[in-house]
Amino acid sequence: MMSRGDDPQPQALAKPTFSDVQASALVESVFGLKVSKIQPLPSYDDQNFHVCISSTKDTADGPTEYVLKISNTESSKTPELIEVQNHVSMFLRAAGFPTASVHPTTGGNLTSLVAVDGGSGVASYLVRLLSYLPGRPIAEIPSSPQLLYEIGRLAGKLDETLQTFHHPKLSSLRRENFIWNLKNVPLLEKYLDALGQSRNREIVVEVIQLFKDEILTKLSHFRECINHGDLNDHNILVESSTSASGDTSYRVSGILDFGDMGYGYYVFEVAITIMYMMVESKRPVHVGGHVLAGFESVIPLTPVERGALFLLVCGRFCQSLVIAAYSCQLHPENKDYLMITAKTGWKHLQHMFDLGQKAVEEIWFETARSYDSGVSL
């Protein structure tokens, strides 16, 4: 959703600016599909289009809706990373997850590097075409305990399944200085001026210090895995169904955006998921227990990992909120989009901090324990 990279600034300045007509021409020339309708989709540092294609006898068996993804110039310089992301999405789809398939180019490749003169010289962009996934972002619906549990379980299943993923360029996922890797919370120090002098800044400074003391010293005790890294409330799609008694239930219909994928730890995935599920919740502090119970139904955390969860959730709040504030200074015209999390995020972070680790853990762990007895709180 926001700027991605070792430093947000170059990424933010490198967003593609293709028109609908240019994007249509790309779909037809690179992928050999005839476009019947195209419209932009929200994005920050890449450019996405929802594409409908005209059915022909050659395409009758395939999807008729796609997402054209045009990577920013910085990401386009690391094609091996995008190649791994493509293969992960296809690997998970084959394993039964609702992830996108990747439509090959006319030359049989999964991506194509296109050079375009944007008026200030030629720039190269990686383009790919993904199947369009149905559903509504989970941000748009009220999240029940059962759905939160299912999201936690999904996060656990995802990490568990990726244990068996292999690719010759897998090492590209070791993104040591990637600003969105959860272990890099201390890198936020160089963006603190975006917060001015405020209570928010004081909390972030305190979280960073605690993170250095309590998390970085324990990393060797966490179990490593490949993380999706961004299971936020806009990257998980759901579809509803109504039972005979009139009750509405939701199932996950899409997992989007593997752009933040990298090596991390199981506890990182559950912490990131908890934080984003809190954003729109009416009872944010209670979210964590349901997500944790779902995750631990697949991968139980160790006591050390559990003990780190509170600070990791606070750390992810800080990453999201500080980078949003910094990016808003660079691009005030994108403020509404960038500040989606900030609308409630600062309030949630302050509330967690005021309650304190012991009180929050008590709520989370008691809720998670209630699932063992079959009575969810």
Which residues pair with residue 116 across a beta bridge? 123
Distance CA 278, CA 274 (A): 6
Q: 171 is written with which tokens? A: 């090492």
Which amino acid, residue 196? G
Distance CA 377, CA 252 (A): 22
Instruction: Classify the C-alpha dihedral 191-349-257-50 as positive or negative.
Output: negative
Q: 251 is written with which tokens? A: 């199932």
Distance CA 158, CA 268 (A): 13
Annotated catalytic residue 230? yes
Q: What letters, b where the CB count within 10 A reaches 16 and e where it falls short, cover 262-276?
A: bbbbbbbbbbbbbbb
Contact predicate 170/263, CB 8 Å: no
Give the Cβ contact number of residue 234 at 10 Å.
18
Distance CA 270, CA 187 (A): 21
Catalytic residue among 230, 233, 257, 260: 230
Distance CA 38, CA 53 (A): 9
**Residues catalogued as catalytic:** 230
